[in-house]
Every structure is written in structure tokens, then in C-alpha cells.
Structure 1
Amino acid sequence: MVFKAIMNGLIKAKAMPQISPTERQALEAGTVWIDGQVFSGKPDFAKMFSEPYAKLNKRERDFIDGPVKNLCDMVDSYELARTRIVPKQAIDYMKSQGFFSFLIPQSYGGQEFSVNAISTIMAMLSAHSPLLSTFVVIPNSLGAAELLKHYGKQSQKDHYLPRLASGEYLPCFGLTEPTAGSDAASILARGVLFKNAEGKLQIKLNFRKRYITLAPVANLISLAFKLQDPDNLLGKGSDVGITVALVHRGTPGLEMGKHHQPIGDAFYNGPIVGKDVVIDADEIIGGVECAGQGWRMLMEQLAGGRAVSLPAGAVGGVRAAAAAAGAYARVRQQFGMPIAEMEGIQEKLAEIAAMAYLAEGARVYAVSALDNDEQPPVVSAVWKAYLTELSRVQATNAMDVMAGAGVMQGPNNIIGRGYCSAPVAITVEGANIMTRSLITFGQGAVRCHPYAFKIANALEANDLPTFSSALKGWIGHMVVNTGRLIGLTATRGYLASVPKIDGVTPYLRKLAWTSSRYAYLTDMALLTVGGKLKARQQLTGHFADALGWQLLAISTVRRYVAEGEQREDLPLVQYACEYALEKIQKAFESIYANFGKNPLGLWMRTVGYLGLRLNPLVGSTRDRLVPVVAKTITKSGAQMDRIAGDLYLPKVNLAELDNDEVLANTTGVKRLLAAFEAVQAAEGVQRKIMAARRAKQLEKGSVQELADAALAKGIITADDKKLLDRANRISLEAIMVDEFTPQEFFGDDSITYAPGFDSANLPNVPHGAVAQPVERLKVVNS
């Protein structure tokens, strides 16, 4: 009787968040993974670290080292961004090498790669050229091939999959509309089912889609719409529901080919409009039997899919930031030293390096789960939102380090276009604001909690036995976890049972502590805020932050363990964990400060908040790690290779750059990498000269100024002098930014000065003449 009264009271009060049909399909899609461990309050790190960790097989490795790198070699990323035209040679190469078929089984002519391989390739191509990468990302993510593989009729698979694999069909996915973005379930696209004169089932479509990547060039659309059946021809009622069908380019009434112009590196994206477009009902993916199942299909595939393409692009962006900023900081000199030795620069470099390590750990950990048949929608949402935001932050840090070299555009600028493009990933597949404030904790609190979903289902079904059992379990869970939290708080996590990993165990104890607190706060939110959680988006956003950074910290340690606990990487792990714990601490403080206007909220805002500040997760100790972490990306070697990962970097031959003409025609990243190698090769020579200067064997001056005297006195050899001269010469070229004539700048051969100015009024320049470039000044290293 007691449980019956409680259940009736909760139903009447709408104490649990209300679940709509579309939300239920999203909640029931996929699986609970390590997110469930965090919500449990007692994460089993040993179990997490024993799960499979993805590695590329030989066929995948050969494809990346061969066709993928060859594709990057044949496309100049700056020229591609300038012209916005993908060369036919590149398109033909992608078709011939199977770049559109990574998801497709080999029996249909596809590559059938692992998710890890697909993600690795996407990360490499996205960092090289966003425009080029979209031709690979879109066919190999949510869309025709994936939906057909999982839901298509055999006849559909037999027809479409081989043609998608060969590139005969280039697909796009039509979901977003002017009035339906993150709220994709509210699409207005309509399809009306009818029988034509021959008695064949057909659908008349009317829709307006926008932001559709590859739409201007695609010839096959996976179109999402709401299907109506006014004559109940399918026996499913008049409102059948969201459906996905294939629509071919050239179908009467279909308008496509116009372009949007995305910020940063342009890529092919545009609208699709349909007016009275008629297709056969057989074009519904899965046939008429799957009419109305479109939302379920999308949620099931997005459950894991959000962890693939956009996170891969984000990881590629962070890698690029690390490689560019680290090399530039070592080459660029100010105040007589490489700027990499300045503490202010080191702060930025350290964050970039550690976040590159963290991001790659998160990427591989997630795709390992997907390859192991997990489909975690909450973790997938976290990866999409937090890795794309992390990439944007690190692009800004890299811009700060490179300063004017990142601001001035042109082929020599290797970071600016990525910085400008960062907002794109933030907005697609659900804007990050909505993913953070609605999806992450909104789904997580119900789906990943040990008992909340069971209780919500029992309340909806008025199922007293299930409700009673789940409520008893929940009460026991809260009692045990509250006791655990008290013990962990008193000992600052020391009582937690965690794996012993030298230098990392203290962070695992802290993460066990944060998990217990997170589980406690989730219980309190469900009990006191309950059905109003959807409206408390500031609060749920802070919960999302705490969850996201716990998962990212766990991923960092997972990578360290999987790679054999390489000691030189330990500072990266420690920095990343402390960075994450700082974010978690801030999120907890915000949760306590904004919990609610109730007795519990009052206690949290006062006593609880004070205790949280007096006993924080981590102190201000991360600065001690900055110098050593910053150096991980300012020197070549195996560690730098691990941080940069599978980033496309052109091969450098320093000897060929001794030719002035070759050096002058080498731009962008290759020139910077050459300078990076040349400077490191000359470090020993610089140390000899500096030591002689300190010993007063040489007069005061810069290293380059003293080089001739050092050679004359036998302090350095002739070969040493050549190394020093080469480093100085290539470094000078590497730090130069691009210069454009008025004709190049305005794109008009008739213009000699900016329109509106009279060249006769400009001093020291003959009327009608073009100003000559100022001779480059010699850069002197010291």
C-alpha cells in the first residue's frame, strides 16, 4: 500500500521527466557504456581498462599510408580553399580507390573498414582540407549507405550499395529545415501517400531543406519527412510518422544545385527544395514496412555515429594546432630566444599538447567501443559537443602563439583557415548548446541512472511490482552512495579502490570521488527538480560539463594504459587530468549554486558550496607541468609523432631546400617543418657559440653575428657554419607571411591601387606605377 501511494503521488505530481514518443525512441536507442559507470557512483576502472582498445589492421594501415596520403599529396589545400573546386583527378582517384565505401561490406564492393579506420581517415583528411574531407565524411556517415546496410530491403541493397561504393551515386542526407534544426523531430517536410492511375503506391513530397552538405553536387538524397496516409493505404493510420526515402537528382519538382557559403574553408553545402515531387513508395528505406520508422533509424545510428565524423574532424584540428604551434614556437625568435622558451607561450603550448593527447585518447576509446558493438548515445553526444568545442579553443590558442603568421591569409598561413572554420562543427548534428543543455544530462539522467528509466517506465505503465522493486533498489543505491561520498570527501578520494598506476592513481581516486558526488547530485536533482529538469537548462548544462570532463579524463588514462604507460607521456596525462578536474570542480560549484529554491537548494548554496570550495578536487598546481608538457611539441621525435598522430605532413628534404628557387616555391606547412628540422639540427652549433661567448672567447652579439668569428677561432667547423646558415635562411622564409599585389588582392588586373585613392598623392611612387615589395630583412638568430 505504501508503494502504491508513492507511485500514485509521483504520477500525479509528474515527478519524473515526461518522455515523449520521439524522446523514448532516442532513449531506447543504443547502449549504456562507461557513462553508466559514472552515474553508478562507483566506477570500475579495472573493467574499463580491460576492454578492447582499437588498432588498425594491416589492410587499413596500408590504405592510410597509401591512397589517403596520395590523395592529400595531389590536392593543394590552399588552392582548394581559394578556388572551391575539387579537381576531377582527385574525384576520380577517390572513386577508383573506394573512398566512398568504407561502411559498405566487401561483398557489395566496399572497403568494410573498422570504425577506428574510418575515424582515423576522417581526422587526417579534415585537418588537410575540410572541402576534400566532406566527399569522404558524408558517404561514410549517417546517410544512404549506413541506413541501407542496416534497414534496406535486399533488392535495395543489391541495387544501391555497389553503386554507392563505386561513386556512381554521391549521396547527401536531407534532414535540417529552416524551422527544424536541433529539434529535428519537428520537420515540416511532408509526403502524402496515394495510388497512381496504375494502382501503384507513390508519395508526393513537398519540402524545403537547408545546410545539406554535398547537396549542390549529390545525385542521391536520403530525405527525412513526415508521411501522411489519408486513405490509410498502409493500415497505419493517417499520420504514419517520420520516414526516410531515397530521392534521385533530376526528379521533376526537385530543385538542387545552389550553394550556401560556410564560414572558413568553404565546402559544398546548400539547400534542397521539392515541390510536388513524386517518388515510388518502394524508395522508402526498408520498403513500405519501414514507413514511419525513420526517427527510430536515425536515433539508432546517431547513438554511436555522433562519436565518429565530427569528433574525428575535431581531433584532426587539435593535432594540426599542436604540430603548427609547436614548430612555429621553436622557429620564431624574439628577444634573443625562441618564443617556445617564454613562459607565456609555454602555457598555450602545454594546453594544446595535453588536449591533443586527451582528444586522441577519447577518439580511439570511443571507436573501440563502437567496434565492440557498443552504441552509447550519451557518450557519443559528449564526444561531439566537447571535442568540437575543445578543438575551437585550441585553434584559438594556436592563433595566439602564431600571432601575425596566423592572421595574415595566404598559402603560408597553415592555421588561420582551421580557426575560421571551427564554428561549423559546433553547429551541426545538433548545436552544441542544445547538445549540452538538453541531450547529455537529459538523456543521461534517465537512461544511464541505475534505476530512473525503470521507474519512469513503471510510472507510465502504472506497473506497481516493477515500480516497487526499482524504488527499493534506488533507495538502497542512494544510502550506499551517500555513505561512500562522505568517506571519499573526508579522505579526498583516498578510500577509493582503484588500479595502481604510478603517477596516475591519485587522479583515479579523484575521479572515483567525482563519480560518487555526481551520482549523489543526480539523485537529488531527480528527486527535487524531477519533471522540471527539461526547463532547468542552466542546471542540466552544468551536469553535462561534469559528466563530459569525467569521461574525457577517463579516456586519457585509458590511452596511457593501452599504450604501455610510456613514462615520457605521464606529464601529458597528469596535465590533462588536472585540467579536467578543474572543469569538473567548476561544474560542481555551478550545480551547487544553481540547484533550486528549496530547502536542499538552500543548503547547497550555503553549507554545501562552502565545503566544496574548502575541499576542492584539485589545487592550482598545474603550472608545475607547463614547461615539460610544452616541450613535447617543440621537438621532433616519437613523442611528437604520437601527439600529431595520423596527421598529413609533407615529407621534408633539407638538402633540396638549399636551392633558393626550390625554397622560394615551398610554402606553408612544408616550409615550417623544414625550418623546425633545420633549427634542431643547428642547436648543437648554437650551444658551442653561446658557451664560447660566456667564456669570453667571443665578443657579445647574436649567434649568427658571431658565427664567422667562431669559425675563424676553430670553435665551430665549416660544416657547423653551414648548418647554422641553413637554419637561419629557412627560418626566415618560414616566418614570412604572404604578400599580394593590388591586382592579386582585388582580383582585377586593371587596378594598381585601392579603388577610391589617387596614386598621384602617394609619396615616392611614380603615377600609374605599382609599388615594389620591400626587400626582406635578414633575421638574425641569437
Structure 2
Amino acid sequence: MSTLANMRKRYLSDPAFKMFKKVLPPLSETEREAMEAGSVWWDGELFGGNPSWNTLLTYPQPKLSRDEQAFIDNQLATLLDMLDDYQIVQEDRDLPPEVWEYLRKERFFSLIIGKEYGGLDFSAHANSTIVTRIATKSLSAAVSVMVPNSLGPGELLSHYGTQEQKDYWLPRLSQGKDIPCFALTGPEAGSDAGSIPDKGVVCYGEFEGKEVLGISLTWNKRYITLAPVATVLGLAFKLHDPDSLIGDKEALGITCALIPADYPGVEIGERHDPLNLAFMNGPTRGKNVFIPMEWVIGGQDYVGRGWRMLVECLSAGRGISLPALGTAVGHLTARTTGAYAYVRKQFGMPIGNFEGVAESMGRIGGVTYMLEAARTLTTTSLDLEEKPGIVTAIAKYHMTELARTILNDAMDVHAGRAIQLGPMNYIGHHYFGMPVAITVEGANILTRNLMIFGQGATRCHPYVLAEMEAAANPDGEEGAKQFDGLLSKHIGFAVGNVAKSLLNAFTRSAFNRSPVSGETAVYYKQLSRMSRALAVSSDFAMLSLGGELKRREMVSARLGDVLSHLYLASAVLKRYEDEGRQQQDLPFVHYGVQYCLHRCGIAFDEVMSNFPRRGIGPLLRGLLFPLGIHYPAPSDDNKMAIAKLLMTPGAHRERLTHLCYVGERADDPVGIMERAFVALYQVKDIERKITKAVKAGEIPRKFSLTEKLQAAVSAGIITEADSNKVHNAEQLRQQAIQVDHFAASHFKKGGLQPGKAA
């Protein structure tokens, strides 16, 4: 080792190593397994401060295979025509028997199971597309389909099951002979799966008339979707071996097993009532239930490996199923709110022409484009066989929260049309259902405050995880040597990011590179600046707070917001390029990226204003944003342009809302609104002629519509055929703006009787 290297080690890296070991947050076993289970993907590029945009743009565009498209065009189309969401939720409180049978028969529960076992073996993109489209029609049906194709027996068996388990269970699951559920959450263990109190004890017991090695299980689980109708129960529990029957450790860790629902001692069948939706959800319990050891998923070799298995498979729920529900809300609200805002008139003109309504519509359209972009980019990662835990956590949190925001906007625009439940209401049940997506697979508060940055800072940083491993090396001398090599690289990384951040600040990122030209080029440059600022802020946060960073959840959450919005903006730009740079989509692209940059700016400002170590916040502000943070929210003109696009039929509207189900039946609520919208748009020029004639005094202003049309025909302003078109459009409009009403006998009687004085 050179003299310079010796001096560096003695005076820099060795003292830093000692300090690092003191401030370093200790990694628990569950945290270590979570870190090792996932993979770093595009999130690593964004966290590193110098994202390779060409890498992003060369990721394959997600496409459906011929078999996947055929399934969507046929089986899925048939299913959607069978669903009556009002009947499902308000009347039957369950899917109809014929729908359950169709789901079984057409293998909707085996989208992810391999073809060799009778499954469909669809891509993550196809799985997500199918769930999204179902969810635009019925959340209850979508949840019933998504759960068997998410975290549960099918996925766990496919990845970890013994050959015997696969050969028996997977064909039965594929054919719909068995309905699975997976019991993870309990009264004392929700998002913190590591605190599972459910216990298994290794022992000998009787099974099929023989004494065999097995497990005595006691559990109490709740919120388990499909539990009331499941025929096979996946169960997560903590396993103990007090008599050392299978090893020398007493506490073996989280373990997963598969148990037939009709097995003696299994309690199942009761239902919860999840915000009045109709998907099956309920508790399951068991006390001292003995099962043979071969019922452990993966067999005895996988005892104690359940946490790792669960973390690796959570990407399906976080990256496919729940983001699909959020995206469905976007497709549905963008299509129907744009139509309703054109159909519903106030003061003689469509309500969408009022700026207050247009503002909400602009947000709905811009967010919908972003949701679909994030959905497709996230499924791309999964189809590349990545397991990006941070990316899927971002997708789960932000896509469900954004859906909640635009669902509120849609409710505001529809007003009374949205709050009266009945067959005509197409968004009321979604309003009830969105909080469900927000609270499952890790409550959103936990996901934002602890997971996205809390794990991402360590997992995605190019040096920190390796430095932590060096510090934890039991061979102190070897660990110090490893740390010395990493520290010099880390210092160079940090100094370079600080210098380039200052350059970005004073040049407005002019020297950053963009892989494209045109209107979107500036966005790549600005996002690179934000990425570098995140890298600098993360280093300062980890260095100054150390292990305390875990408890400083608001700092962690805000830095996580920066990473999240960098990801969402990346998705928007990727979608724009993948779809051929459609010029009509530019208002949506501008909205999405400007929204994300604005949110990044807000997050940075809040971090620097509230940093818990004195002096760090002002220092970061001086290094990263010495001239201020200038990233405005999307402009009013941008929102108005999007509102206009939502109220205009055309290819752009089809691209934006292509997954929204529009039924052809006369009583389909979305179909009713769509037909009225198209009919009214087609007669807009005729209506303009009549309006012009009224203003000119050729037709009396106080005439009814019928009288105006008759007068216009008599005056030769329009033809009889034009008059008929307007009449037809008005009839459709009147039908579309109605709300459901019921006889008094429909409700339980009590209090005052109809029409009777008190």
C-alpha cells in the first residue's frame, strides 16, 4: 500500500469507519432479507444522480401476446357483459353463481400459473390489463380475480413449492377446482408482518392414522380476501422447535404452509363488510391444528424462509394488482367525467366550459395519463423478471393516492349524479372501494414513510449497502479494508454530485443531456438535476442522522416523494416515446412532468425547512437551490387544454381511456353516458346555428327546444333531418343525466311515512 493510501486509511477511512459503525442503523434479520430479496432497477439510476435516459427508453414497450389479446377480446369481454355491479354490491352482496362458474371454467384464477399445469402463464402486463379493465366495471369482481393471481398459494407454489406440491395443487388451482386465499394479516400484525403472533410448534402427531413429524398450529387472522369461499388456505406463521426435532434453533422464523379449508380445526366462512363492497373477505382461525411437515410450502427445506418468500412475491400485489385498481379509476373517471361535463348543461352551456370544472377535469386527464404510464413501466420491470421492491412500493402508494384524488374530482363534477346509488351510478362503488386499495399490501402511510426511501436509501445507493456490510463484517480488519476502498469511491461520488448540482443551479441544467429533441427535451435535463439533488440530500441525511433516520419518518417520506416523482415523470416520458410521440398527447405529458417536478420542489423545500440537524437544511439549500426552487405547477392553460380534449371524441380520448368498459346494452350506465356524449357532439354545429339565430332575434329566446327546432326548420336555418338529430341527442342527454330513484318500499320503513304529516 502506498504512503498516500496509508495516510488516507489512517487519518480518514479508519476514523470514518469507527464513526460509521456507531451511527449505522443495525439491520434486523427481516430488513436484511427484504433488502436481499428485491432487485434494483430504474430506481437505482434515479437514486444515483446520473440517470441513463437511453437505458430507460430502450426498455421494451409492453405488448400483449396473441393468446393474451385473444383472451381479452373473448373471455374477458364475455365476463364484463355478465357483470351487473349494482346487483353484485347492493342486492346479492356476492358475485352471481354463473360468474363464479365462468371465472373457474375460463381460468381467470390461473393467469400466472404455468401452462404445464393448465394455467394461462400470462405476462405481468396482461395480468394488470385484465384486472384494470374488470375494475372499470366492478371493483368487487376485480378484487376476486386479482387475489389468486397476486400474493398467494399459486405464486408461492410456482416459485417455491416441491414438485409434489406443484403437481397436486397447481392443476387444481388452474382448473378452478380449488379457490385459494392467503392468510398473513392479523389483529396484532398488519403492515409489520415480522410481528406475526400466529405460532407453529414442531412436534409429532397423528395424520391419516400414522404418527408423523409435523406442526401444531394456532392462528387468528383477519382481512383475508376470498377466505369465506376458499377451499385451500395459505398460512404464514412463526415456527418454533423447542425440542430440536429438525435443528438446533428454537425460533425458526416465519414459515408458510398450505392447508385444505375443510381440514379439521380450520375455522373459515365468516365475512367482513369492506366498506359495503361485495368481494369475499373474512377471518380465519385455528387452535392446535396439527399438519404434516410436507404441507410447508417448499417442504422442510423452506422452514423459516417464509419472510423472504413473501417479500419476493409482494411485487405482484404492489406492482400489478393495486396499481391496476388505481389505473382503472383513471380510465373510468377520465372517460365518464369528460362525457358528463359535455352532456350536463348549466346556463345553456356544457358545465365543462366553466373554468372551475375544467380545472378538475385537467387534473383527471393529466393524472390518468400518468397512471397508465406508471402501470406499463412497472409491469415492464416485472416482465423483465426484476423484483424491484422500491419501484413497486412507489407504484402502490402513489397510484392509489392519485386515484383517490381524481375520484374526488370526478365526484365533485358529477355532484348529485355521483352520490345517488343505483344502476345508473358508475363511480359510487369506486368511491367506497378506493380506501381498500390504500390500506392493503402495507398501509400507504407505512409505504411512504418507511419503505420507499427507508429501504431505497440503502438498497439503491451505489455504496451504502456495501459499506454497511463492511461495517458488519466480524473480521474487523477485513471490514476496515473493504470500507477504505468503498469510502474513497463514495467521497468522489458525493463531491461530484455536489459540484454538478451547483453547476445545474447556475446554468438551469443547460449542460445536462437529453436523449430526445423537441418540447420534452428540457424535462430530461431538469429531472437529471433533481436526481443529482436527491443523491446529495440522501448522503447528507444518512451521514448526519445515521440510525436516527429510521425514526425521522417525515424526512424519509419527503425524500421518498422526490424519488417517487422522478419515477412517475420517467414513466410519462417513456410512454410518450413508446406511443410514437403523439402530438395530441403533449398536454397530458406537460401536465404529468410539470406536476412531478413541482412535487419534487415542494418535497425538497420541506426537507430543507425542517431538517432535524441545525445547519444542514440551509447548507443543502445553498448547494442545491441557491437561486430558489422554480418549478411551478401545471398551468391553467394546460388544464383547460386537457379539459377540452376530454370533451372531444377522437383517437386521443381512446388512447387515454382505452381500458374503460363501455357496454353496448341499453342499460349499461357508461354506455348511456357515452352515447349521449357522442350524439350531442355530432349535433354541435346544428346547435350553434340555432343559438346564432336566437341571438339574432330570428327565433324567440323563451321557446322550448322543440319550438326552437320547429321555428328553425320553418325559417330554413336547419333541415328536418337536423331537427331529428337534435331531438334524438336531447333524448339521450335527458336519459344520461338522470339518477336512480326507488319506491319507498325498497327501503326499510321507519320514522315518518311517505306523504303523512307528523
Same fold, TM-score > 0.5, yes or no? yes
Structure 1 residue 102 displacement after superposition: 0.7
Kindly indicate whether the alpha-carbon contact (under 8 Å) linking 1:174 and 1:209 is maintained by their aligned counterparts in 2: yes
What is the CA deviation profile of residues 338-388 of structure 1, one whole-angstrom value per residue up to 9, with x for unaligned ones?
011111111111110111111001000111111111111001100000100
Do structure 1's residue 555 and structure 2's residue 571 form an aligned pair? yes
Which residue number in structure 2 is paired with residue 684 of structure 1?
685
Do structure 1's residue 511 and structure 2's residue 527 form an aligned pair? yes
Letter in 1 for 2:372: E
Structure 1 residue 632 displacement after superposition: 2.1
- Unpaired stretches in structure 1, ≥5 consecutive residues: 653-661, 763-782
Letter in 1 for 2:236: A
Which residue number in structure 2 is paired with residue 42 of structure 1?
50
Matched position secondary structure for 2:223? strand
Kindly indicate whether the alpha-carbon contact (under 8 Å) linking 1:264 and 1:418 is maintained by their aligned counterparts in 2: no
What is the CA deviation profile of residues 1-37 of structure 1, one whole-angstrom value per residue up to 9, with x for unaligned ones?
3356325522552x22221010000011121111111
Which residue number in structure 2 is paired with residue 729 of structure 1?
731
Structure 1 stretch 492-501 or stretch 451-460: which is displaced more? 492-501
Which residue number in structure 2 is paired with residue 108 of structure 1?
117
What is the CA deviation profile of residues 376-427 of structure 1, one whole-angstrom value per residue up to 9, with x for unaligned ones?
1001100000100011111000001101101111111111211121111110
Structure 1 residue 701 displacement after superposition: 4.9
Distance 1:292 1:579 in 2: 44
What is the CA deviation profile of residues 196-220 of structure 1, one whole-angstrom value per residue up to 9, with x for unaligned ones?
3644111110010000001111011
Structure 1 stretch 642-651 or stretch 423-432: which is displaced more? 642-651
Which residue number in structure 2 is paired with residue 78 of structure 1?
86
Distance 2:704 2:389 in 1: 57
What is the CA deviation profile of residues 218-242 of structure 1, one whole-angstrom value per residue up to 9, with x for unaligned ones?
0111100001111211115111110
Structure 1 residue 439 displacement after superposition: 0.5
Distance 2:682 2:675 in 1: 11
Structure 1 residue 474 displacement after superposition: 0.5
Which residue number in structure 2 is paired with residue 659 of structure 1?
none
Query: Which structure 2 residues correspond to residues 189-338 of structure 1 after superposition, within 5 A?
Result: 189-196=198-205, 198-303=210-315, 305-338=317-350
Q: In 2 relative to 1, CA 114–545 (structure 1 residues): closer, same or farther, beyond 3 Å?
A: same
What is the CA deviation profile of residues 534-564 of structure 1, one whole-angstrom value per residue up to 9, with x for unaligned ones?
1000111111111111110110010000001
Distance 2:65 2:16 in 1: 53
Structure 1 stretch 624-633 or stretch 287-296: which is displaced more? 624-633
Kindly indicate whether the alpha-carbon contact (under 8 Å) linking 1:54 and 1:116 is maintained by their aligned counterparts in 2: yes
Kindly indicate whether the alpha-carbon contact (under 8 Å) linking 1:102 and 1:110 is maintained by their aligned counterparts in 2: yes
Q: In 2 relative to 1, CA 341–177 (structure 1 residues): closer, same or farther, beyond 3 Å?
A: same
RMSD: 1.7
Q: In 2 relative to 1, CA 8–521 (structure 1 residues): closer, same or farther, beyond 3 Å?
A: closer
Aligned equivalent of 2:191, options 182, 207, 220: 182
Which residue number in structure 2 is paired with residue 716 of structure 1?
718
- Unpaired stretches in structure 2, ≥5 consecutive residues: 1-9
Structure 1 stretch 493-502 or stretch 66-75: which is displaced more? 493-502
Which residue number in structure 1 is paired with residue 653 of structure 2?
640
Q: In 2 relative to 1, CA 17–617 (structure 1 residues): closer, same or farther, beyond 3 Å?
A: farther
Structure 1 residue 597 displacement after superposition: 2.8
Distance 1:258 1:304 in 2: 26
Kindly indicate whether the alpha-carbon contact (under 8 Å) linking 2:160 and 2:297 is maintained by their aligned counterparts in 1: yes
Kindly indicate whether the alpha-carbon contact (under 8 Å) linking 2:14 and 2:484 is maintained by their aligned counterparts in 1: no
The size of the alignment, in residue pairs, is: 740
What is the CA deviation profile of residues 85-121 of structure 1, one whole-angstrom value per residue up to 9, with x for unaligned ones?
2111111111121111111111110100111000000
Letter in 2 for 1:255: E
Structure 1 stretch 688-697 or stretch 364-373: which is displaced more? 688-697
Q: In 2 relative to 1, CA 328–598 (structure 1 residues): closer, same or farther, beyond 3 Å?
A: same
Distance 1:476 1:180 in 2: 43
Which residue number in structure 1 is paired with residue 542 of structure 2?
526
Structure 1 residue 604 displacement after superposition: 4.8
Do structure 1's residue 28 and structure 2's residue 36 form an aligned pair? yes
Which residue number in structure 2 is paired with residue 360 of structure 1?
372
What is the CA deviation profile of residues 662-711 of structure 1, one whole-angstrom value per residue up to 9, with x for unaligned ones?
6xxx2522221221122112112112222333454434357825211111
Matched position secondary structure for 1:272? strand
Aligned equivalent of 1:144, options 133, 153, 168: 153
Letter in 1 for 2:106: Q
Structure 1 stretch 730-739 or stretch 179-188: which is displaced more? 730-739
Distance 2:615 2:79 in 1: 62
Q: In 2 relative to 1, CA 452–287 (structure 1 residues): closer, same or farther, beyond 3 Å?
A: same
Which residue number in structure 2 is paired with residue 755 of structure 1?
751
Kindly indicate whether the alpha-carbon contact (under 8 Å) linking 2:514 and 2:522 is maintained by their aligned counterparts in 1: no
Structure 1 residue 304 displacement after superposition: 5.6
Letter in 1 for 2:710: D
Matched position secondary structure for 1:437? helix
Which residue number in structure 1 is paired with residue 515 of structure 2?
499
Distance 1:451 1:478 in 2: 11
What is the CA deviation profile of residues 54-103 of structure 1, one whole-angstrom value per residue up to 9, with x for unaligned ones?
11112111111111111010121111111212111111111121111111
Aligned equivalent of 1:593, options 606, 609, 616: 609
Do structure 1's residue 545 and structure 2's residue 561 form an aligned pair? yes
Distance 1:426 1:176 in 2: 15
Distance 2:623 2:276 in 1: 45
Letter in 2 for 1:150: H
Distance 1:185 1:40 in 2: 30
Distance 1:714 1:465 in 2: 94
Q: In 2 relative to 1, CA 501–302 (structure 1 residues): closer, same or farther, beyond 3 Å?
A: farther
Structure 1 stretch 698-707 or stretch 289-298: which is displaced more? 698-707
- Report the identity percentage: 39
Letter in 1 for 2:198: A
